[in-house]
Homo-oligomer: A and B are copies of this chain.
Amino acid sequence: MAELSVRVGPLALRNPFVLASGIWGESGESLAGAWDAGAGAVVTKSIGSAARPGYPNPTIESYGDWGLLNAMGLPNPGIEEYPREIAVARTRGATVIGSIFGGDAEEFATLAREMAPTGVVALELNLSCPHAEGYGTEVGSEPADVEAIVGAVVRAVPIPVIAKITPNTPDPAGLAEAAERAGAAAVSAINTIRGLAIDTELHRPVLAHGLGGLSGPAIKPAGLACVWQIYDRIRIPVIGIGGISTAEDALEYLMAGASAVEVGTAVTQRGIRVFGELAHDLDRRLDALGYPSVASAVGAAHPARR
């Protein structure tokens, strides 16, 4: 029985498997459901200043078992309504991390001030959605912007701030360093990879929005590369995201340097029970390999640790 509970900077999680933002994250009941299924924490859908319907359908395109393209367009009920959903999840005992998105440092700070008092244990800043005009990658691709936004939020709220980094960049570690400089408690990576699908029969993009973001197994190599590079350049913890659907995938992330991981697309393949299964399988795998705890495997693939 390996020790599954982890610390991610100031956060204590019962296990390293966190529900990723945008999956089961609009309603409090769903967040609670993911928690009940065994998630170590749950991240809310990214919440903005006002209610947003998101893009029209089609919003997703599937590639069988290796990938999923989506352009939801950051639908969310808006910061005014959303606290009641967090309240539902909290009543059920869930450890909730609030995700927010904004167009600039000020909007992020305002959202943070409204989200913090709801009892979320930390805020994750969406600096990385690849398909939302004026948000996400558009405000999170330059270290200076990341530093400004993270700094503004850190100054605005007393709870830990996690910067969620884009993979659509030559230097993810540079963005992570900016977040660290600005006082982030942790960095999470990655969000989806910018992608497009075209229907040749109808000669048009499949998604109503055109561009979308790829998630699922296909992006695991990219996510691992980002975590690997970031781990070498910052001292705050990294949360690994991207294509995790087995305990083995998660262990790759841990060994690459992640202190915890987020799981998204796998929920559509394996159902929400994936959280309980991942924890169980990781436990057995750590035992087999002789690691006494999740923490002891973190960064194990880096030369200094080998």
Q: Hey, which bits of chain A sit against chain B, CB under 8 A?
A: 63, 66-67, 69, 137, 141, 166-171, 193-198, 200-201, 203-205, 210-212, 214, 217-219, 221-222, 224-226, 228-229, 248, 251-252, 255-256, 285, 289, 297, 300-301, 305-306
Pick from B63, B197, B228, B289: contact of A252, CB below 8 A.
B197
Say whether chain A's binding surface is mostly helix, strand, loop, or mixed: mixed
Q: In the complex, A218→B192 CA distance in Å?
A: 13
Pick from B67, B217, B224: contact of A198, CB below 8 A.
B224
Pick from B166, B168, B301: contact of A205, CB below 8 A.
B301
Pick from B196, B212, B306: contact of A204, CB below 8 A.
B306
Pairwise interchain contact A203-B300, C-beta atoms closer than 8 A:
yes
Q: In the complex, A289→B212 CA distance in Å?
A: 26
Q: In the complex, A229→B211 CA distance in Å?
A: 9
Pairwise interchain contact B300-A256, C-beta atoms closer than 8 A:
no
Q: Which chain B residues lie closer than 8 Å to A225 at the CB level?
A: 194-196, 211
Q: In the complex, A221→B206 CA distance in Å?
A: 11
Closest to A203 in B: B300
Q: Which chain B residues lie closer than 8 Å to A203 at the CB level?
A: 255, 289, 297, 300-301, 305-306
**6 A-B pairs whose Cβ atoms sit less than 8 Å apart in the complex:** A166-B170, A167-B168, A194-B222, A198-B301, A203-B306, A211-B228
Q: In the complex, A41→B67 CA distance in Å?
A: 31
Query: In angstroms, how far is the closest chain B Cβ from the Cβ of A207?
Result: 10
Pick from B193, B196, B229, B297: contact of A256, CB below 8 A.
B196
Q: In the complex, A299→B42 CA distance in Å?
A: 42
Closest 7 CB pairs of A and B: A195-B221, A218-B218, A141-B170, A196-B225, A196-B224, A66-B66, A198-B252
Q: Which chain B residues lie closer than 8 Å to A170 at the CB level?
A: 137, 141, 166, 168-169
Q: In the complex, A301→B203 CA distance in Å?
A: 5
Q: Which chain B residues lie closer than 8 Å to A285 at the CB level?
A: 200
